[in-house]
Homo-oligomer: A and B are copies of this chain.
Amino acid sequence: MPVTGDSTVAEVLDEYGKITRAHLKTWLPQGDPGDYLYGPMADYPQRGGRMFRPSLCIATGRMFGASIEQLVPAAVSIELLHNALLIHDDIEDESDERRGKPTLHKQIGTPLALNAGDSLAFLSLRPIIKASSSMGSASVVRILEEFDQMAQQTAEGQALDLGWRRDNQIDLREQDYLKMVLKKTCWLTTLFPVRLGALIGSGGRANLDSLFNFAFFLGAAFQIQDDVLNLVGNHERYGKELGGDLLEGKRTLMLVNLLELSSSEERTRIKTILDTPREARSEASVSWLQSSMIDKGCIDYAKELAHGLAGAASHEFEKVFNGLPESGDKAFLSKLPSWVIERS
């Protein structure tokens, strides 16, 4: 089904998701060791997912003039890396569920899951490297420079997220949260897909840095909505344990906002709750955290900020992509900011 200006966001995600998934499958190795490596590597990609990241790359690239064929290697690479990092994130966060099933390390043990994540991460480079025959070696190297930058930013963001939790850091403000989200989420989720799309679509002529605000605002709105859904979403549609972020002590926008609005005594109580090992943390204390967030308006605040960021992303979109001709892909991209905060 061709993408037109009338296509809904869901229809475009479905269309580009299907294309990416079909190609991705051809890159997953078969054979031995099946149980120990290639089965586990194929697990998360087979569980589905919205295909937001590869679709964002394909749509941006087409808006800039590339064909789907030219964009598919980058789209597959992004989705493979995303799945690789999910495996490692789940180990790091000791998460129980992913896309409605037990996490990979809960199924096959941490050692084999960690190794499958490593292998999937390296595999994510293969579609790019092997595209040299069609796009030329210089373009491959240019894309890998982008990959390298994104990987470093992502690791920095992940380090902040994990480090703050390990040290039970509560001296955090909204700007710290946004810096962490820029690195941890936005680089892989929005900046990298948009930059690669523009790079490939424009043949290297687009000013990639001019896309920063659009992608950052979109990605931050996406992450905050994810924070909110983790707390108040529908379990079946969300696919992860609800309240998992609270159990894991994640520094979400609501938690940072709650800390900013709390008295010194309340902050001490919050710190003590977060300091308690996950398995020993009482349901009552987690409920208290959750109701404090509601009472102090933290969840509403998060929704408002996500809304504001989505609006800013729309504004940036108009500003930056104004000169590009109208198309189904441009229409899809223009609808993404609203979609990001409306999705459940």
Binding site for B on A (CB under 8 A): 29, 32-33, 35-37, 85, 88, 91-93, 108-112, 114-116, 118-119, 121-123, 125-126, 129-130, 132, 136-138, 140-141, 144-145, 147-148, 151-152, 155-156, 158-160, 162-163, 165-166
Answer whether A36 and B141 are a contact pair too, CB < 8 Å, given A122-B152, A166-B112: no
Residues of chain B contacted by A125 (CB below 8 angstroms): 125, 144, 148
**Are A112 and B163 in touch, CB under 8 angstroms?**
yes
**Are A111 and B166 in touch, CB under 8 angstroms?**
yes
Closest B residue by C-beta to A123:
B152
Residues of chain B contacted by A162 (CB below 8 angstroms): 36, 111-112, 115
- Name 15 A/B residue pairs within 8 A (Cβ), A-sorted: A33-B156, A37-B155, A91-B114, A114-B114, A115-B158, A116-B155, A119-B152, A125-B148, A126-B148, A129-B144, A129-B148, A137-B137, A137-B140, A140-B140, A140-B141
Answer whether A110 and B92 are a contact pair too, CB < 8 Å, given A36-B160, A148-B125, A160-B33: yes
Residue of B32, B119, B144, B156 touching A144 (CB-CB under 8 A): B144
Expressed in whole angstroms, the minimum distance between the Cβ of A87 and any Cβ of chain B is: 10
**Additional pairs, 17, CB under 8 Å, beyond known A36-B160, A85-B118:** A33-B159, A37-B155, A37-B156, A37-B159, A108-B166, A109-B166, A112-B166, A115-B159, A116-B159, A118-B121, A119-B151, A121-B121, A122-B151, A122-B155, A129-B145, A129-B148, A136-B137
Closest B residue by C-beta to A115:
B158
Residues of chain B contacted by A136 (CB below 8 angstroms): 137
Residues of chain B contacted by A93 (CB below 8 angstroms): 111
**Are B118 and A91 in touch, CB under 8 angstroms?**
no
Closest B residue by C-beta to A165:
B111
Residues of chain B contacted by A36 (CB below 8 angstroms): 159-160, 162-163
Closest B residue by C-beta to A29:
B152
The 3 closest A-B pairs by CB, nearest first: A36-B163, A119-B155, A137-B137
Expressed in whole angstroms, the minimum distance between the Cβ of A128 and any Cβ of chain B is: 9
**Are A35 and B115 in touch, CB under 8 angstroms?**
no
Expressed in whole angstroms, the minimum distance between the Cβ of A88 and any Cβ of chain B is: 6
Expressed in whole angstroms, the minimum distance between the Cβ of A195 and any Cβ of chain B is: 16
CA A115 to CA B151, docked complex, whole Å: 11
Residues of chain B contacted by A110 (CB below 8 angstroms): 91-92
Residues of chain B contacted by A88 (CB below 8 angstroms): 114-115, 118
Closest B residue by C-beta to A145:
B129
Residues of chain B contacted by A126 (CB below 8 angstroms): 148
